[in-house]
Copies of this chain bind each other. A is one copy, B any other.
Amino acid sequence: MAINKLFARRALKAQPSAIREICKLAAKTDVKSLAGGWPSGDTFPVEEVKQIVRNVLDEKPELALQYGTSEGLVELRLALAEWLQNRDGFECSSDQIMITSGSTQGIELCAKVFLEPGDAAFVGLPSYFGGIGACQAFGAHLVGVPLDLDGMVPNELEKRAAFAMEQGHRPKLLYIIPDYQNPTGAVVPLDRRRKILETASRYDMVVVEDSPYRDLSFEGEPFPPLMALDRDSRVVFLRSFSKNFCPGFRLSLLAGPEDVVRNMVIARQFEDACPDVFGQHVLLDFLKKGFLDKQIEKNRAYYIKKRDRILDLLDENFPKQVTWNRPKGGFFVFVHLPEGMSGMDLLDKAVKNNVTFVAGSAFFVDGGGTNTVRLSYSEADDESLEQAIVVLGRLLKEMIKG
């Protein structure tokens, strides 16, 4: 009856992710959702997947429906090593790659393998709470590092690392989303990437580079990943296939130093044993047939239009006291309301009008960002997007008038 009295302290502390809970709300009702960072179903390569699953089930059902190794299919890891070299400009062996069950698992494995309770973990201010939650789960002392329009500010990282050390916290891990950041959309320029790596090197930290939106660049090619600039093997690179392929098979790649990967593979044996094997065979064929690179081009074209559409709608509907960025890739517009206004208040009103989004404060480990809002333009269709922005514009004007 009272089994909950047996919960471990970590279970009592666990909080639901704001986004997952809001997405459940959005799924249940007729809500126009700008909340989740889910890709649009319109972009899914359905015809290609149909053809591939037929081949997979004709040719190797006894492999595709079986267990696999914890690190993932060797053929897939070999193909991905080649793909990474072409696409992201760095060499790595198949032993430096593992397939994780989403980048969520990649983040969790980084936290598990590196963090002792009290170690300082640095995250953007604001930053995606998947990274934050995983570090929290392993008892990290979380430190927010301010971002500006060019993403994480290297001097701020340096200052905070020094301060954490003074306070007795070992600076251990930096979690960073350098490309089209969640939630700000910011891109870290090349020189900053180098400076951030130098700081990480000086404090002997692991750098967890999470780049789910990397392939969704709207204006030219993205900068080289930190992984490609890293000179002393301290970067673990998480590269999801949820936004350039589809999320349904839960596939992501993790690349890092070989002994780190080996340790994560061991840790994984007591988490979920191995990634989805059927999905890996589908992704392998998708990659080998050259569909992945084509899909990336299609998705770029699709989401540029969505980005342009939301920017037009914001210009037309939002009051001039409200500001936002012009994302060069990814799924998000980050909105600043006038000082003193609250994103949570706007959300309360919006939900009553069947519109939802994520209040920016969910992304700030320091309790800040109360006047910010994350709008996702990835999933809503054009009509819902327009209706949602019109409603939000009206609510904002009412709130500003007071």
Residues of B within 8 A of A234 (CB): 3
Q: How far is the CB of A317 from chain B (nearest CB, A)?
A: 28
Per-residue CB contact flags for chain A residues 12-23 toward chain B (1 = under 8 Å, else 0) read 001111001001
The answer to whether B23 and A260 have CB atoms under 8 Å apart is no
A8-B114, A271-B108 known; A62-B41 Cβ under 8 A: yes
Residues of B within 8 A of A107 (CB): 270
The answer to whether B104 and A247 have CB atoms under 8 Å apart is no
Considering the complex, give the chain B residue whose CB is closest to the CB of A379: B66
Docked Cα-Cα span, A388 to B193, in Å, equals: 56
A57-B53, A114-B7 known; A105-B272 Cβ under 8 A: yes
The answer to whether B269 and A248 have CB atoms under 8 Å apart is no
Per-residue CB contact flags for chain A residues 224-247 toward chain B (1 = under 8 Å, else 0) read 000000001110000000100011
Docked Cα-Cα span, A277 to B247, in Å, equals: 8
Q: Is there a chain B Cβ closer than 8 Å to A167's Cβ?
A: no
Considering the complex, give the chain B residue whose CB is closest to the CB of A235: B3
The answer to whether A104 and B3 have CB atoms under 8 Å apart is no
Residues of B within 8 A of A266 (CB): 14-17
Q: Which of A6, A54, A64, A119 neighbours the largest number of chain B CB atoms within 10 Å of its CB? A: A6
Q: Is there a chain B Cβ closer than 8 Å to A329's Cβ?
A: no
Per-residue CB contact flags for chain A residues 83-108 toward chain B (1 = under 8 Å, else 0) read 00000000000000000111011011
Residues of B within 8 A of A17 (CB): 266, 269-270
What are the nearest 10 A-B pairs in CB distance? Answer: A41-B62, A65-B248, A65-B246, A101-B272, A248-B277, A133-B270, A104-B273, A46-B61, A248-B278, A11-B113
